[in-house]
Structure formats: C-alpha cells, structure tokens
Structure 1
Amino acid sequence: MTEPDEALEAGGRQVPQDVPAEQAVLGGMLLSKDACAQVLEFLRGNDFYRPVHERIFSVIQDLFGSGVPVDVVSVHTALMESGDLSRVGGGAYLHTLIASVPTAANASYYARSVYDRAVERRLIEAGTRLVQLGYTGSRGTSRSTDDLATLAQQAVFEVTAREQAEDFNALADMLQPTVEEIEAAGKRGGEMVGVPTGFTDLDRLLNGLTPGQLVLVAGRPGLGKSTLAADVARHAAIRAGQASAIFSLEMSKVEIVMRLLSAEARVPLHVLRSGQLSDDDWSKLAKCMGEIADAPLFVDDTPSMNLMHIRSKAQRLRQRHDLRLLVVDYLQLMTSPKRSESRQQEVADLSRGLKLLAKELHIPIIGVCQLNRGPEQRQNKLPQLSDLRESGSLEQDADVVILMHRDDYYDKESARAGEADVIVAKHRNGPTDTVTVAAQLHLSRFVDMAIV
C-alpha cells in the first residue's frame, strides 16, 4: 500500500514504520469492541504513519466515543458522509483491513508496534531539532545557552508526551460546574452519592465510598478486615445492584463464595465447610442462591497478581459490566513487576498505583492491609495509623483508612463481646469517628447496629 520511496528519508534510510501492524490494529478494531477499548487506551491518530490509517482510526475513535457500534458498515457510512471514503481506498480497503488480521485478540500487540515506531519517528524529529539548535546556537539571537538547553529538554520530552489539554482548566471554567454540583447535592436532600457500605453510621460519616477514593481496611490477622471488605462488596452488588469485584490473593473463589453464602443464608461457615447441613440449612441455602444468582459480583483468585494484572482486569470489568467497586485482598500479598530497592518502596509503588487506578476508573478501591504488632504492645490494644505495616505511604496515599478492633479478640471476658469497632482513622474529605457494628464472624459477616 506504500509507494517504493514513501518510507525513505532524503539520505535513503528507512523511516521507522510498520504498515502491516497499522492494518492489523484497524482490522482488529473493526472486529471487536474490546480491541477498540484496549487500543484507544494508549494509541492516538498521529501515531499512524499512513494518513489514510490515521483518518480511519479517527472515525473509529469518534464512533466508539459516541457509543455507536464499530464495524465495517458504521465506519463505511461515517467516511462516506465526511467525503473521505474514496481518499482511504473505498469500502474495499476496509474489508482488506479485516482480512489482514486473523483475530482481534492481538490488536493491542500490534498497537504497541505502531506506537513504538511513532516514538522512533519523533526521536528522529527531536534529534533533527537538536542538531539545528546546536548549529544555530545563541549567536545572533537573544537566547542564552540556558534557553537552548531548555528548548532541547522540551524537544526530548515531547517525544512521548501526549496532548492532554483537557486535563488543565482555568478556575473561571471550573466555578460553574462546581456550583452546579453543590446545588445538585442540596437537591438530593442528603442522599448519598457514593457506593453504599451497608452500615448506616459509616455511610453517614463517609457519604458512601466516593469514586476515585482509595480506602484501606486494616487490622491484625483474625480481626475480620477481609470480612468487612467483603461485606461492603456484597451489599453493593446484592442490595444496591452496583457491579463489584473482589480480587483475592489470599482465599480461593470457593472459599469466598462459601463465606458469601454463609452471610446471606445465615448458615454457619463451619457447617458449610463440613457439609453437615440440616434440611432447614439446605432450604435457606437454596433460597439464598436463587436470590443472589444474578448479583453483579465478580471474584478473581489468581495468585501473585501484580498491579498490571489488576489494572487490566479492572479495566475490562469497567468496560463490560460498569464496575463500581473493587476490593483487593490483601495489598501486602501483591507483587510489583519492577525491581524496587526495598519492600517498603515496593508497597509504596503499589499503594500509589491503586490510588491512580481508582482515579482512572472513577471507582472506589478498597485495599485490605495488615497491621504490624503495634496494637499488641499497647495497654488498650487500639490500632493506630502508625501501625500500617511496611510503608508509611499507605497512610499518605489513602483517602480513607479504616482500622478494625475487637475487645473480645484480646479479652475473652470482655463486656463488649460480639462488638467490633470500625475506626475511621483518616478521612481526607470529612471527620473521623468510630462506628460500632455487631461481629457475627461465625456467619462471616458484620451487622449494622445503628438505630435508624
């Protein structure tokens, strides 16, 4: 599809480009909505070497962004309406693009090749500008050598920089939308805007879990931090109908579902594990399964997940099922694909990555964390923010930190047996407080004690 000398520089050298990969990318996007979503995450129109490919990509991008199904027919129609159909080779070329790729599954792989070649071309352009700056210098101009160095740095930075002007807004442009949001909140009459936790007092304090928040639920082993996180996901999915996902690095799918059934059917967990159910237990279980079967709750128990895996899976769930809440259990079991100087630095990278993912997907993410032995060394056993294990960055990155505490965990004769304190130790957007809930851990759940 290229002329013999189209990809040659004046010096006869090959310009970095991969036309077959460009065709494979576009063909994959014409075949699959998922391929469109994956490619559009990082590829832009000006990454394509051939202008006709850039034009086709722009049409696909516009259709996908408008919610219109992307296929040969819709793209053909859009190109015909814009008068560009003949310029890109007509409808026959669109079918050539589809024929160039056997499966849409590899679209992101080919997109990476297209992007890499684009970066190489920009490097050549930046190098040319640097050479020109070096020859021109500051002679006969008002520019100093410091100015030249700044221009050179800018040229190199622009190689991989993306045009994201929409990320920056003047204050005058943001005032009206902010006032509108305040007015909308007033019209809701105090109605919660975030994902409900299922605990009345906690929802009043936090106004639900807000999209973009990183919420840490931390505690010593056995205090019920995983149970609380699962309770929130269970309530969001089953009661509120909001798609939720649990990525568990500690428990298997079967164990998680067994805990969920125990909580919903009110059949003790140890009875489910033993299989010694009475007729009444089986009846409760059957009724429960019928009620929750269609709940939008997803579970992944892949061991040794790293941030890249979590990001990829969460993005797919967001695209396919409108994911509204993600639970990662638990953070210190995650691994980092890149080498870090220490475990503390690795955990810092992971917590920062989860915070950025929450903002990117516009959902709250609950990260379950272990506390160190600090509470056990104090007289009152109450946990503190400083007890967050392995990294102070956990406290820094989190919008909300919830610490779990149970008196009867340390004192079996406690007058508060059966109660648990959900301590909101950090709340970036509001007050901190302690919410008391009932601990029914034999049923793998906590129960609201608020008086409505």
Structure 2
Amino acid sequence: MDEAGGAYDIVRLSSKVTSSVHIELHAELIKDRYLRRGLIIGINSLTSQSEDPTYDIEDILNALHLLTDRIENECSWTQQLRPMQQLMEETIAEAERRIENGKNGVTGIPTGLAGLDRLTSGWQACDQNIIATRPSVGKTAIALHLAKAAASAGRHVVFYSIEMQGERLSVRRTGCNHGGETPQR
C-alpha cells in the first residue's frame, strides 16, 4: 500500500473517477498490460538462461511451457466458462449432428474393432485417446491396427513412436521382415 502512495493517494485517485461506465474496458487493459509484462519478464529470463550453458535445456523448455501455460490460462479462462444449460444444449446438438452423419452406429472415425465401435461410436473429433498397459502386452500392435482402420476410412494418420523406428513399425504392421520369418506376437 505504501508503494502505491498510501491510503491517501488511493482515495485521491478513486475520487477522480466520475463514472464506472467503462470499468470493464479499463480492467481488460490492466489485465492485458499485466500479462504482457509477465510474458516479457519470463521471456527475458529464459533468454538469459538460454545463453548460459550451465542451464539445462530441458529445464529451460519446461519453464517456457509453464510460462506459456500460465499466460494462456490467465488470458482465456473467462471465454471457457459457459452456463450448464448452454453446455447441455451444445452437447445435444453435437450428438444429433454426429448421429445424422454416422454410419452403422459409428459417428466418428471407425476403430476397426466392432466391439469398441459399439462402446465409443468410433473416435470422436477433439478426443484424446490413450492406450496404456504393462510392457509387452500389445499397445503398439493395437495402435497400428487403429491407425490402419482410420487410414482405411480415408483419414490422414500420423504414427509416432519413441520406442521403435519406422522400419520396425512397418515390419510389425505388415507381418513381414527381411529374414522371411513372421514376427511373434
């Protein structure tokens, strides 16, 4: 409070405001300046760290992600809030659109597994699907099957693996390898 001029200066400033007509605009401007200042300070700090070889690059990248997440969350949180009634109406409208455009109960991208399609109606737009289990249970095999089914449905597919090179994935998917043996599953 003392850094802002004390109670007297704050009261004096508030007495100069004759109307609150544009209060939301002023609040948005203050928020904008606050976010910009935070971004500038954060980026300047990360720039200094990037030039110093004693800092670990992974730590710098992590700090960059945290900075952008914080700024992004502070920027757009009000735009993500919707009344429950509006949310439910939009959800029902989306489901009705999917059903109209669906085929054989599949309203999204077919998985190639009839049982899974019955449960999920296929992969839906904007959903994130995670396949997780213990090692050597077949995650890559099922993921390759799902990718092939999506590609067969005319979708563009990209498959990333941090465990296997592209050639090994290809051998695994096609069941062929250079020695003529069928890989064990």
Report the TM-score when normalising by structure 1.
0.25
Partner SS, residue 132 of structure 2 = strand
What is aligned with 1:140?
Answer: 12
2:47 corresponding residue in structure 1: none
Q: Report the 3-state secondary structure (helix = DSSP H, G, I; strand = E; otherwise coil) of the residue aligned with 1:258.
A: helix
User: Is residue 138 of structure 2 the alignment partner of residue 224 of structure 1?
Assistant: yes
1:219 CA displacement: 2.5
1:274 — aligned with what? 179
Per the TM alignment, residue 156 of structure 1 is displaced from its structure 2 partner at its CA by 2.1
Cα separation, partners in 2 of 1:165 and 1:221, compared to 1, 3 Å: closer
1:173 offset after TM fit, Å?
6.0
User: Percent sequence identity over matched residues?
Assistant: 23
Residue in 2 aligned with 1:191? 105
Whole-angstrom CA distance in 2 between matches of 1:174 and 1:180: 10
What is the deviation of 1:201? 0.1
Aligned to 2:114: 200
Distance 1:169 1:190 in 2: 35
Look up the SS of the partner of 1:196 in the other structure.
coil
CA distance in 1: counterparts of 2:133 and 2:86, whole angstroms: 43
Deviation of 1:189 (Å): 7.0
Q: Which structure shows the higher helix fraction?
A: 2
RMSD: 3.9
| Residue matched to 2:18 | none
Alignment correspondent of 1:167: 79
- Alpha carbons of structure 1 residues 248 and 168: separation in structure 2 relative to 1, 3 Å: closer
Q: CA deviation at 1:210?
A: 2.2
For residues 165 and 139 of structure 1, the distance between their equivalents in structure 2, rounded to whole angstroms, comes to 31
1:277-314 CA distance string (max 9 Å, x none)? 9xxxxxxxxxxxxxxxxxxxxxxxxxxxxxxxxxxxxx
Distance change (3 Å), C-alpha of 1:236 and 1:179? closer
Q: Tell me the secondary structure at the aligned position of residue 125 of structure 2.
A: coil
Question: Quick one: distance in 1 between partners of 2:130 and 2:88?
Answer: 31
2:145 is paired with a residue of what secondary structure? helix
Per-residue deviation, 1:246? 1.3
Is residue 256 of structure 1 aligned with residue 169 of structure 2? yes
Query: Which runs of structure 2 are paired with 1:400-419 in the superposition (5 Å)?
Result: none
Alpha-carbon shift at residue 204 of structure 1 (Å): 1.0
2:163 partner SS = coil
Counterpart amino acid of 2:164? M
Shift of 1:228: 0.9
Structure 1 residue 255 displacement after superposition? 0.8
How far residue 182 of structure 1 moved from its aligned partner, in angstroms, is 3.5
Counterpart contact for 2:98–2:108, Cα < 8 Å: no
Measured in 2, the distance between the counterparts of 1:216 and 1:204 equals 18
Question: How far apart are 1:177 and its partner, in Å?
Answer: 4.1
Shift of 1:202: 0.9
Hey, what does 2:159 align to over in structure 1?
246
> CA–CA distance in 1 between the matches of 2:108 and 2:98?
12
Relative distance call for 1:192 and 1:173 in structure 2 (3 A) is same
Quick one: higher RCO (CA 8 Å, sep 6+), 1 or 2? 1
